[in-house]
Amino acid sequence: MYGFEAMTFNIHGGYLEAIVRGHRSGLLSAADYNNLCQCETLDDIKMHLSATEYGPYLQNEPSPLHTTTIVEKCTQKLVDEYKHMLCQATEPLSTFLEYITYGHMIDNVVLIVTGTLHERDVQELLEKCHPLGMFDSIATLAVAQNMRELYRLVLVDTPLAPYFSECITSEDLDDINIEIMRNTLYKAYLEDFYKFCQKIGGATAEIMSDLLAFEADRRAVNITINSIGTELTRDDRRKLYSSFGLLYPYGHEELVVCEDIDQVRGVMEKYPPYQAIFAKISYGESQMLDKAFYEEEVKRLCLAFEQQFHYAVFFAYMRLREQEIRNLMWISECVAQNQKSRVHDSVVFIF
Amino acid sequence: MAGHDRRRGGGCCPAMDLMRSEEMQLVQLIIPMESAHRTVSYLGDLGFLQFKDLNSDKSPFQRSFATQIKRCGEMARKLRFFREQMTKAGISPSAMPLPRTHVNFDDLEIKLGEIEAELVEVNTNNEKLQRTYNELLEYNLVLQKAGEFFYSAQSNATAQQREIEARQVGDGSLNSPLLMEQEMSTDPSKQVKLGFVSGLVQKEKSMAFERILFRATRGNVYLRQAEIDYPVTDPVSGEKVAKKVFVVFFSGEKAKMKILKICEAFGANRYPFTDDFGKQMQTIEEVAGRLKELKTTIDVGLFHRDKILKSISHQFEQWNNLVRREKSIYHTLNMLSLDVTKKCLVAEGWSPVFATGQIQEALKRAATDSNSQVGSIFQVLHTREHPPTFFRTNKFTTAFQEIVDAYGVAKYQEANPGVYTIVTFPFLFAVMFGDWGHGLCLLAATLLLIIREKKLSSQKLGDIMEMTFGGRYVIMMMSVFSIYTGLIYNEFFSVPFELFGSSAYACRDASCRDATTEGLVKIRRTYPFGVDPKWHGTRSELPFLNSLKMKMSILLGVTQMNLGIFLSYFNAKFFENNINIWYQFAPQLIFLNSLFGYLSLLIIVKWCTGSKADLYHVMIYMFLSPTDDLGENQLFPGQKTLQLVLLALALISVPWMLFPKPFLLKKQHQERHQGQAYAMLQSTDDDLLQVEQDHGSHEHEEFEFSEVFVHQLIHTIEFVLGAVSNTASYLRLWALSLAHSELSSVFYEKVLLLAWGFNNIAILIVGIIVFVFATIGVLLVMETLSAFLHALRLHWVEFQSKFYEGDGYKFSPFSFTLLSQEED
């Protein structure tokens, strides 16, 4: 199919690609961020956002505004756009779009399970869930006591079910268990998504494999850094790495034995694309790593828009919008807590 | 120009002059702070000033009146909240115009805040009550349905027991197994005590609910469900949803915990229920009593809310307008720059020259009304910026001007094709749509729109309807013209009429019936107006009409293109650009007319003399072998000499168009450049602002000779090739007119006459229906559209390309009337 997709792509995908590109041009620009960073109060932010595409979502909010409201409304906009696209999509684009939400689903499952473990109210937890990762029986997760029950009761109906095959144990749920479960699920999800994209083929496969490989590598690095100093064995650690990406397989071998962050750095610097990321960070520091990764990701996502006739634009758009919402959240938090000097710490400019 | 001077002196209402856009001026207003708000408000009423944004480098919330805008936004939000509440309660804001009481902005803000707080309080109270009410309603349903379960279960059980007993009585000699069974079913001490939970669950979730219950308890559960026939209001969300009553029986504490959690997760509301019949009756009664009480309380609350909303509804529109006005005023104020002393605001903007008096008067009025000690200062600035284009149109000319603006807004004071469009557009349309029957239908439809104009303009129309309504006067003109051309073509749904006397032709003798086979002779004087009806249906009808329409199209086209070229002359004259007159207008005129003007001349001569010369031949051989003898194609003596002269002129005019202009422009630029170097020194102590702006515009005037030359080359090629292709393009007039008349004759003959031929009422009715729909759908709607589009193209491309620059921008004044139109 490669090379000929341009001929037939527009029959089903043309309308939605136009839509998504239109949405993409509605992303906040650097000038918008500059203005937002100068805001004194949350009302100023609201006023500025009302001139953007977020306007209709924020205009009916009464004045003492909270950061959560802003984030909630902005997410609402993303969800509405996503639902619109999903309604219009045909196969295989609709499946592709659904794949995008599985990540949120995993996060939601983990959030609820951890929450119930610490005896939080289910309703309260549900409000914190990302609306893109909702499924019907999500609230029932609270009933489950161990992985097996979790799977048998609830997740068997969800698209996440196949990913569970690796982590069914009868152990009771605890924090480490859950974290391992999250990573195993995520690994299975990424591999599945990767396989799906390869199946679609063409430019979608090409671009998505690049984006997903980056995602997998980032997760591998994060897992390594987070598991340093915990009782996770090397074999267990290896099991959590996805079986594709730039680091697979030799990089993984080296990451498995890392004992501190500088060793991770040593491994990563062998790979030219990641060398630039680590070059920005001073030795022994891991705080700024997230931001560096985000920046690199945004750069790659923006590049996805350079090609036409492929599905990766949908993935890229959703990710960029999520990044934008994270930025807005950070800015509003800084404004609300009078920490304006720290505004630039975590904002990743999209353009 | 004369019109020019006349307008300059014009006071309130200058003569309407569409040819040139209104003369504009850049004005500066210095307004004292205390009267600023009132001044802007009066200027908004007037609507003749387009403010320039002097703070474009500041973000919205850094501007001086950001807080006021925020307040307006807040008030607008409250008003939206009221509107929402009113639509929920089914109260529409009353449209009747109230006596315009003056409402203070600050008072209104306080008032809106109070009303909102009151409404919110009433609503929360009501919501609470409503919630309890709905809960009780659900409880009532549970009691009923679950009661039914238990009752039917009990009666089943007793029936079973009775059956067993009856069997026992019947077969007393039966042995142990049956006895054991009886023992099991009747011995109460051995019965397992089952617990149960009852409640309501949403219908669409009930399947999943059942599944999860089954999985969680490993099947050790018994679920009964009963559907409720009508949607129930959910107490939490307040929405109507279809629900099911369920009763779950289970055993054991652990199962109970799980079931309760699942219920919670599914948003299933649980209600207590007792299996004791007496207690059931008691609770049902209690619930009914409480329901009645709550109902009255809720009604009182609703009545109170409606009263508040009704009182809002009277003033809603007024408030809404006020808030909108205030917001726009503050937006405008934000565009003004603050003086250093912070005592006055400086505004800059464009205004038409004729409105100077009105603006000054408004400024004065504002100053006196706000008791300001100092009046506002009004002064005209000199600038090199291009002023906006402003045409004062009325409801008739607007649509025509829109047609021109859709292509591009005229450059400031450039000749406006809109003036000619008013006549030429409908006329060219009608040439393609010539049928006076169709014209009458169109006229009737558009007159309907025009008569109901007042009513229609106040209400909201659909997309397509709005477009038709906006262009109603265009359509009216088009239909009038197509009646005229239809009379000339003698077409009425393709039926010929002898309206202007009888036909000039008749058969040689009275006995012939079929005019197409026998030759006709001319017996009377020529048919006085338009095409002789006898042509219709003859074998030579098409060749005759084609020849007529084709030649007519070329004549019309050449005339319109000449008009375009002459307009370029008027433009050059107006802007005092002699280069354009001598090196663009003159060669263009000569080129076009020496080729196609000559063709037109030949056509007219041929028509007048009735010569049989072949015009194609003449035109083609004029180029191929200009020295050859014309022979039988000669129309008038001396034609060959004339042709040679014309050909020479056309050949000369091409380099004339191409070469001199760029060189002259270069020379002119060099001269100006030298001159300006001196002028700069002198003007340093002159007006500072002007120098600055001179400086600004200076940088743009880099003269790039190659660019100018290439530009001119492209223009020349475009004109020379365009002369041929544009003339050919006018043949669309003939083509569409032909298509129209052929289509209508097809519908007439192949549908109406065919149906008539069957002599059957049913077929005739079907035929008439098909004919009517085809006429309306294809001829009146689609043909109108296509003829409209072709006329549009002829204007935009063939006509306007000769002179129209169209790179101006529209004058968009700050005006409250425009504001309210926008919002709708």
Kindly report the number of other CB atoms within 10 A of residue B710's CB atom: 12
The residues with which B198 forms a beta bridge, in sequence order, are B247, B271
Q: A289 in contact with B at a CB cutoff of 8 Å?
A: no
Residue B62 burial by Cβ neighbours in a 10 Å radius (0-12, 13-18, 19+)? middle
Task: Say which residue the tokens 């049989």 belong to.
Answer: B612
Q: Which residues contact A75 (CB under 8 A, 6 or more apart)?
A: A130, A131, A325
Token pair of B766, please?
């079907």
Q: Give per-10-residue mean pLDDT for chain B (824 aa).
A: 38 57 88 86 88 81 81 86 84 63 77 86 87 84 78 78 69 47 46 74 81 79 80 77 83 80 78 76 84 87 86 83 87 84 84 89 87 83 88 88 91 89 94 93 93 84 84 93 93 86 74 58 83 82 90 95 93 89 93 94 91 87 85 85 93 92 89 62 45 44 84 93 93 94 90 87 91 91 94 93 90 83 58
Comparing A67-71, A93-97, A321-325, B340-344, the range with the smallest average pLDDT is B340-344
Residue B35 burial by Cβ neighbours in a 10 Å radius (0-12, 13-18, 19+)? buried
Instruction: Look at residue A2 and tell me whether its pLDDT is greater than 60.
Output: no
The residues with which B28 forms a beta bridge, in sequence order, are B348, B379
- B658-669: string of b/e by CB count within 10 Å (b at 16+)? bebbbeebeeee
Instruction: Look at residue A237 and tell me whether its pLDDT is greater than 70.
Output: yes
Distance from CA of B701 to the nearest CA of A (A): 31
Listed as own residue / partner, the contacts of B519-524 with beta carbons closer than 8 Å and 24 or more positions apart are none
Binned at pLDDT 50, 70 and 90, residue A75 comes out as very high
Distance from CA of B823 to the nearest CA of A (A): 15
pLDDT, one tens digit per residue, over B717-744 is 999 999 999 999 999 999 999 999 999 9
The pLDDT of residue A172? 67
Instruction: Look at residue A66 and tell me whether its pLDDT is greater than 80.
Output: yes
The pLDDT of residue B97? 56
Q: Identify residue A122 by its one-letter amino acid code.
A: V
Nearest to B216 among A38, A62, A153 (CB): A153
The pLDDT of residue B694? 44
Kindly report the number of other CB atoms within 10 A of residue B279's CB atom: 11
Rounded Cα–Cα distance for residues B533 and A218 (Å): 86
Q: Report whether B79 contacts B319 (CB < 8 A).
A: yes
Q: Identify residue A47 by its one-letter amino acid code.
A: M
pLDDT, one tens digit per residue, over A78-113 is 999 999 999 999 888 999 999 999 999 999 988 888
Distance from CA of A23 to the nearest CA of B (A): 24
Q: Which residue of A has its CA nearest to B212?
A: A153
The pLDDT of residue B176? 45
| B420 closest CA partner among B549, B561, B569 | B561
The pLDDT of residue B693? 44
Rounded Cα–Cα distance for residues B632 and B124 (Å): 99
Token pair of A71, please?
């984030």
Given the DSSP bridges, would you call strands B24-32 and B344-352 parallel, antiparallel or unpaired? antiparallel
Q: Which residues contact B700 (CB under 8 A, 6 or more apart)?
A: none
DSSP-based three-state secondary structure for B455: helix
The widest CA-to-CA distance across chain B, in whole angstroms, is: 143
3-state SS of chain A?
CCCCHHHHHHHHCHHHHHHHHHHHHCCCCHHHHHHHHCCCCHHHHHHHHCCCCCHHHHCCCCCCCCHHHHHHHHHHHHHHHHHHHHHHCCCCHHHHHHHHHHHHHHHHHHHHHHHHHCCCCHHHHHHHCCHHHCCHHHHHHHHCCEHHHHHHHCHHHCCCHHHHHHCCCCCECCHHHHHHHHHHHHHHHHHHHHHHHHHHCHHHHHHHHHHHHHHHHHHHHHHHHHHCCCCCCHHHHHHHCCCCCCCCCHHHHHHHCCCCHHHHHHHHCCCHHHHHHHHCCCCCCCHHHHHHHHHHHHHHHHHHCCCCCCCHHHHHHHHHHHHHHHHHHHHHHHHHCCCHHHHHHHCCCCC
Q: Report whether B741 contacts B489 (CB < 8 A).
A: yes
Nearest to B212 among A40, A62, A153 (CB): A153
Kindly report the number of other CB atoms within 10 A of residue A149's CB atom: 18
The pLDDT of residue A214? 92
Say if the Cβ atoms of A48 and B59 lie within 8 Å: yes
The pLDDT of residue B482? 94
Q: Which residue of B has its CA nearest to A142?
A: B261
DSSP-assigned letters across all residues of B475-528? HHHHHHHHHHHHHHHT-STT----TTS--SEEESSTT---TTTS-EEE-SSPPS
Cβ contacts (< 8 Å) between A140 and chain B: which residues? 212, 261-262, 265-266
Tell me, rounded to whole angstroms, the distance of Cα A167 from its chain centroid.
Answer: 22
Q: Report whether A314 contacts A304 (CB < 8 A).
A: no
Task: Say which residue the tokens 């207003």 belong to.
Answer: B29
CB pairs A-B closer than 8 Å? 63
| B719 closest CA partner among B656, B598, B801 | B801
Say if the Cβ atoms of A157 and B208 lie within 8 Å: yes
Kindly report the number of other CB atoms within 10 A of residue A82's CB atom: 20
Cβ contacts (< 8 Å) between B66 and chain A: which residues? 44, 47
Cβ contacts (< 8 Å) between B211 and chain A: which residues? 157
The pLDDT of residue B697? 45
pLDDT, one tens digit per residue, over A164-174 is 876 666 666 77
| B785 closest CA partner among B440, B458, B433 | B433
User: Considering Cα of B76, then B80, then B83, then B85, what sign does the dihedral take?
Assistant: negative
pLDDT, one tens digit per residue, over A182-207 is 888 899 999 999 999 999 888 889 89
Token pair of B438, please?
């169709």
Cβ contacts (< 8 Å) between B262 and chain A: which residues? 140, 143
The pLDDT of residue B736? 94
The widest CA-to-CA distance across chain A, in whole angstroms, is: 55
Nearest to B61 among A48, A139, A142 (CB): A48
The pLDDT of residue A193? 93
Q: A140 in contact with B at a CB cutoff of 8 Å?
A: yes
| B532 closest CA partner among B485, B479, B483, B487 | B487
Kindly report the number of other CB atoms within 10 A of residue B778's CB atom: 15
Q: Report whether B666 contacts B708 (CB < 8 A).
A: yes
| B197 closest CA partner among B244, B247, B147 | B247
Say if the Cβ atoms of A122 and B216 lie within 8 Å: no
The pLDDT of residue B735? 95
Say if the Cβ atoms of B61 and A50 lie within 8 Å: no
The pLDDT of residue B734? 95
The pLDDT of residue A1? 46
Distance from CA of A153 to the nearest CA of B (A): 6
Substitution target in A143, A157, A158 with the highest count of B β-carbons within 10 Å is A143
